[in-house]
Amino acid sequence: MPVVAIIGRPNVGKSTFFNRICKSRQAITDDRPGVTRDRHYGTADWAGHYFVAIDTGGLVPASDEVYEAKVREQAEIAIEEADLVLFMVDARVGPADIDLDIAKLLRKTHKPTLLVVNKSDNDALELDASSFYSLGLGDPFPIASNSGRNVGNLLDLVVAGLPAAEPEEPDSSVLHVAVIGRPNVGKSSLVNRLLGDERLIVADQPGTTRDAIDTELSYNDQRIMLIDTAGLRRAARVKDNIEFYTTLRSIRSLQRADIAAVLVEAPEGITGQDIKIIEQAEQERKGILIVVNKWDLVEKDTHTIDQFTATFHEKARLMSYIPLIFVSALSGQRVTKVLDQLIEIWQERLKRIPTAELNDFLEEVVHARPPAAHRGVFIKFYYMTQTDVAPPTFVFFVNYPEHLDKSYLRYLENRLRERFGFVGNALRLKFNQRVRSKEQH
């Protein structure tokens, strides 16, 4: 998925624009105080074209102040990762010295850039936008993020300027894995341990993401592609925005993965940031394996694994389908078991259940617990079928799908997992209304 970075000095309306274009999507927000008040990544959708938008902090290129230096590094990371840059300025203020400094920085990057003149709330301000030609970045494009004025026209330009989506023809013989997680949990150590195993056949291949290296290995005759191993190595070069960098690379990696191997740190336990990363993988409907690293540093008894697993299930109550594996990347303890588990999750991801078997299941579970009537109206299930794999997708046909409550949907999913498995995979359940005859009203 292409990446668009929104760059500009403080208070030009970058966050307002970001919130408008990502309004229908869940944005990832880094809660940690520091470089910016909020760091936003979100998925924007315009006319069926999707892209990742990055809302960076207010950029002050010439400042030596620590806070602003961190913002500058963050913006540089975003520009480096972006396919297109939106340089936002303020119509009411006109070209400022800081704008000139940012324009100079952008010209050096040779990145495709659109000059966006925000706060152009009326015709007079739109005409004044011509003063921004002095920045040397081409035609200024006036918009007003608050009201939405001209935003649609700008988005037309954005999607036209993004690289064409590559046709997705995934090789079903290759399992694509994104190794993601918080900084310093051992992602690179795990990858290096896997690649250092003499039983594995290794080859580096250019990835579809700029500067990425996708590393292929073979295990038990299964080809496995580790996505963006270059991104893990490059993270070591980032000084103050390591979490910003790794989160952005994780978003990109997830887009191309079948399964996310989410690393967490055993001594620290499952953190709130870990849960956010897992939720992102779940929202993308990827297969998920939680790899609990540094297990050798934990004092253990016979119940330690059960206690750790129970704590995870308490923090993520709706994610009990996700398996955990306990390893030490440093010593190599159980590392190859990670590959065994990934292959099992992938096989489950590609599994199809015959329709006749599904409908026997549906009749049984509905009989065991009929859905509650809604204001005297009885809810009737007719049949179900599996319509897709990766992720496993099931469609239920019912007379009043809008009256099914969430607890009943969870009941159906839980029973579906109990009967058919799908370990490590988020399921997609759809409930379609079947046309009702008069007798059913």
112-171 pLDDT per residue, tens: 999 999 999 999 999 999 999 999 999 999 999 999 999 999 999 999 999 875 544 456
The CATH number of whichever domain residue 99 belongs to comes to 3.40.50.300
Stretch among 107-111, 128-132, 185-189 having the lowest mean pLDDT: 185-189
pLDDT class of 30 with cuts at 50, 70, 90: very low
Residue 169's pLDDT is what? Answer: 47
Residue 383's pLDDT is what? Answer: 97
Angle of CA points 15, 286, 298, to nearest 5°: 95
Number of H-type helices and E-type strands within the chain: 13, 17
Residue 381's pLDDT is what? Answer: 96
d(CA 149, CA 324): 49
What is the pLDDT averaged over residues 335-356? 96
pLDDT class of 202 with cuts at 50, 70, 90: very low
Q: What percent of the chain has pLDDT over 70?
A: 84
Q: Please indicate, yes or no, if residue 167 is contained in any of the structural domains.
A: no
Q: Take residue 104 and report the two structure tokens written for it.
A: 């100079």
Strands 201-206 vs 213-219: parallel, antiparallel or unpaired: antiparallel
Give the CB-side neighbour count of residue 325, counting CA atoms within 13 A.
Answer: 23
Residue 200's pLDDT is what? Answer: 46
In 182-272, the DSSP E strands lie at 201-206, 213-219, 222-226, 259-265
> Is 83 in contact with 112 (CB distance < 8 Å)?
yes
The radius of gyration computed from the CA coordinates of the chain, to the nearest angstrom, equals: 25
Sign (positive or negative) of CA dihedral 204, 206, 212, 218: negative
Amino acid at site 153 = N
Residue 57 predicted with pLDDT over 50: yes
- Dihedral pair phi/psi, residue 160, rounded to 5°: -70, -30
Residue 296 predicted with pLDDT over 80: yes
Residues near 99 by beta carbon (within 8 Å), at least 6 away in sequence: 8, 9, 89, 132, 135
pLDDT class of 24 with cuts at 50, 70, 90: very low
Each residue of 228-247: pLDDT tens digit? 655 555 565 666 666 677 77
Candidates 229, 222, 236; CA nearest to 195 is 229
Residue 171's pLDDT is what? Answer: 61
Residues near 162 by beta carbon (within 8 Å), at least 6 away in sequence: 2, 4, 49, 51, 83, 84
Q: Please indicate, yes or no, if residue 44 is contained in any of the structural domains.
A: yes
Using the 3D structure, point to which of 161, 185, 207 is the last residue of a domain. Answer: 161
Distance of CA 254 to the CA centre of its chain: 6
Q: Take residue 267 and report the two structure tokens written for it.
A: 């001594």
* 56, 157: one domain: yes
Compute the mean pLDDT over every residue in the chain, rounded to the nearest whole number: 85
Each residue of 359-389: pLDDT tens digit? 999 999 999 999 999 888 899 999 999 999 9
Q: Take residue 102 and report the two structure tokens written for it.
A: 């940012």
Q: Please indicate, yes or no, if residue 33 is contained in any of the structural domains.
A: yes
* 223, 289: one domain: yes
pTM of the model: 0.70
* 151, 215: one domain: no
Residue 437 predicted with pLDDT over 80: no
Long-range Cβ contact pairs of 297-306 (< 8 A, separation 24 or more) = 297/266, 297/267, 298/266, 298/267
* 16, 146: one domain: yes
* 345, 370: one domain: no
What is the pLDDT averaged over residues 300-320? 87
Candidates 393, 35, 327; CA nearest to 179 is 327
Residue 198 predicted with pLDDT over 70: no
Using the 3D structure, point to which of 349, 368, 398 is the last residue of a domain. Answer: 349
Domain with 36 in it = 3-161
Amino acid at site 130 = S
pLDDT class of 12 with cuts at 50, 70, 90: very high
Residue 40's pLDDT is what? Answer: 65
Residue 101's pLDDT is what? Answer: 92
Residue 67's pLDDT is what? Answer: 65
Q: Please indicate, yes or no, if residue 169 is contained in any of the structural domains.
A: no
Residue 167's pLDDT is what? Answer: 44
Residue 410's pLDDT is what? Answer: 95
The number of domains in the chain is 3
Using the 3D structure, point to which of 331, 349, 367 is the last residue of a domain. Answer: 349
**Which of 33-37, 48-52, 353-357 ranks highest by mean pLDDT?**
353-357
Distance of CA 301 to the CA centre of its chain: 36
Q: Please indicate, yes or no, if residue 134 is contained in any of the structural domains.
A: yes
* 197, 309: one domain: yes
Report cis status (omega within 30 of 0) of the bond before 167. Answer: no
Candidates 18, 11, 6; CA nearest to 96 is 11
Backbone φ/ψ region at 107: left (φ over 0), alpha (ψ -120 to 50), beta = alpha
